[in-house]
Structure 1
Amino acid sequence: MSYDLRRSLLLGLKHLSPGHVFVAPALLILFVFFLAPVAGAFVMSFTDFDIYALADLKNLSFIGFDNYISLLGSPLFWKAFGNTAYFALVGTPLSIAVSLGLAMALNTPGVGLKPVFRTVLFGPYVATLVAAAIIWRYMVDFQYGWVNRGLGVVGVPPIDWLGDPHWSMPAIILFAVWKNFGYNMLILLAALQKIPDELYESARVDGAGPWSRFLHVTLPGVSPVLWMVALLTVAGYFQLFAEPYVMTQGGPAQSTFSLLYYMYQDGFKYWNLGHASATAFILFAILIGISFIRNRSQETFA
């Protein structure tokens, strides 16, 4: 290393503040394990990177937007997109409704053992997703599952939850709601506890009933947090993968075939990594669009 280069490096380090020194390792890790792979995947989405390119980079060629055009013309891609949108658009309001209802129940004065109920209700969220999905798969088994046995007690014939295309996605939605409501519940419970009790007392004095108090006190009080929870839930539900992978393998009749499952098969089963990277960035664009719509909607109703 030349004297001038060493002198320049020493001068540069001299002007670094302690904050820069402490932040530098985290920024380096972020660059190596996040920014660089994302940039590499974005470039890869414009190539025909496949198993032959893995063997020899001479087989790699730049193909422009062909991967994106191929995806948008693929019926299987649109099937996966429709399944994912159905899962997110039905599962999100259902999950938020369950979370808000239980948060309001826990926030009710006079309810005892609140720490115990919070812990129990939060339990499904901290359970391992794959293990919970396997247990759920056995619970909804057509012949031996507890769910169908319970339905049989009340005279309802057994339902092939994971083998019938009409019931497979609803079964996965119910599992996802059960698995994830605890996280949103705690966030909404914290928001409810920030609403002053005086507002409810004033509403009661003015003759407002429970429904009116919910519409005019509770909802406005938690609306900013509710928007955030909705965005996080939609973003999470658009990344549906583990549930169909463990429970249905995308079936039956591709009724639970999601965008991430499509990307997984494309990239790691058929080794079409350029195509899979394009799928990832289309999903990224969808999530950015959802975030933009959410922000504009919040500004409109604020």
Structure 2
Amino acid sequence: MKNFISKLNKYKYPYLFIAPAIILLFMFSIIPIFVSVGISFTDMNIKGLANFNNIDFIGLENYIELLKDADFHQAIRNTIFYVVIGVPFVVFLSLTSALLINYGTEKIFSFFRVVYYAPAVTNIVAVAVVWGFLYNTNYGLLNNILNGLGLEGLRWLQDPILAKISLIILAVWKAIGINMLIFLAALKGIPKSYYEAAKIDGAKKFQTLRYITLPQLRFSTFFVTITTLIGWIQFFEEPMVMTSGGPLGQTNSMALFIYQNGFKQSQFGYAAAGSFVLFVIIIIVTLIQFRMNKQDAWE
């Protein structure tokens, strides 16, 4: 205990600097998680907000109900579909874009960096409105192009499978920019001496890419993959704004399912149970990713 106090006194100033961030983290992240877990064991609804006496402890009933809920099962399947399709595309296209831009001139580098990053800072509602016009069945640009080619227009947001693909296209387009910048920063950090040595040894561009560039991007790839994966597990804004989970719940995600039950149906206890299940899934996926990355590092 004395050693702890002495260390605390020795490093008190650094702790004072990070104290505001830690306090905010506890207030708006850690404490709400525990509160949400507690709410998940109750039947809390809109009446419970007015009077806490209306809240009853129901144990695991919400979680049991989730296991039986066909809509929740559909939301899980949809989320898995989004993750399996969307994450590889985001990582691959972000990395490819970064590599192509990195090999260009400074003017090209600056121009495309802005072009690809612009969607990342654009408001999702504004983006959804524009893409809604593009996807419109009757007068959308995409169907006009297909009709001009003599092809039949598609029901972009009405067909269950096509609606998922349409949302993924929008989300991938919006996510490439920020991940591309991460890869670009990592590419700029690779020592030029590595490439000079490879050139002297007669290495070709593909060999340089395989044995120098990609290995040096291992940590960046891991970071982009895990953050993208976590983001897509929480896939929410695109289906909420574009389809509201339709048609027939085929584009509903776990995050949107939680929102609909919590804020539209006022079933706060049930929504809290769903959010805790989502939280556990994210933790498990993250731990698996860290475990796999650790094994790759040792290899």
Supply the AA of the counterpart residue of 1:94. Answer: F
Asked if 1 retains the 8 angstrom alpha-carbon contact of 2:101 and 2:108, the reply is: no
Say whether residues 1:81 and 2:76 are aligned partners: yes
Q: CA deviation at 1:125?
A: 0.4
Supply the AA of the counterpart residue of 2:139. Answer: Y
Larger-gyration structure (1/2): 1
Q: Which residue pairs with 1:64 in the alignment? A: 59
Say whether residues 1:282 and 2:277 are aligned partners: yes
| Change beyond 3 A, Cα 1:130–1:292 | same
* Partners of 2:218 and 2:29 in 1: CA distance: 33
Gap regions ≥5 residues in structure 2: 1-8
Give the number of equivalent residue pairs: 289
Q: Which residue pairs with 1:131 in the alignment? A: 126
* Partners of 2:217 and 2:22 in 1: CA distance: 35
* Partners of 1:48 and 1:248 in 2: CA distance: 29
Say whether residues 1:190 and 2:188 are aligned partners: no
State the TM-score, normalized to the length of structure 1.
Answer: 0.88
Say whether residues 1:141 and 2:141 are aligned partners: no
Q: CA deviation at 1:190?
A: 1.1
Of the structure 1 ranges 204-213 and 146-155, higher mean CA displacement relative to structure 2 is found in: 204-213
Of the candidates 26, 42, 46, which is equivalent to residue 31 of structure 1? Answer: 26
Please show how residues 1-302 of structure 1 align to structure 2 within 5 Å: 17-110=12-105, 112-204=107-199, 208-302=203-297
Q: Which residue pairs with 2:6 in the alignment? A: none
* Partners of 1:288 and 1:48 in 2: CA distance: 25
Q: CA deviation at 1:266?
A: 0.8
Q: CA deviation at 1:195?
A: 2.3
Asked if 1 retains the 8 angstrom alpha-carbon contact of 2:125 and 2:241, the reply is: yes
Asked if 2 retains the 8 angstrom alpha-carbon contact of 1:89 and 1:234, the reply is: no
Q: Secondary structure of 1:113's partner? A: helix
State the TM-score, normalized to the length of structure 2.
Answer: 0.89
Q: CA deviation at 1:283?
A: 0.7
Can you list the C-alpha shifts for 1:151-183, whole angstroms capped at 9, x where unaligned?
333333211110111200000000001111000
| Change beyond 3 A, Cα 1:209–1:153 | farther
Asked if 1 retains the 8 angstrom alpha-carbon contact of 2:137 and 2:156, the reply is: yes
Identity %: 37
Of the structure 1 ranges 187-196 and 277-286, higher mean CA displacement relative to structure 2 is found in: 187-196
Supply the AA of the counterpart residue of 1:284. Answer: F
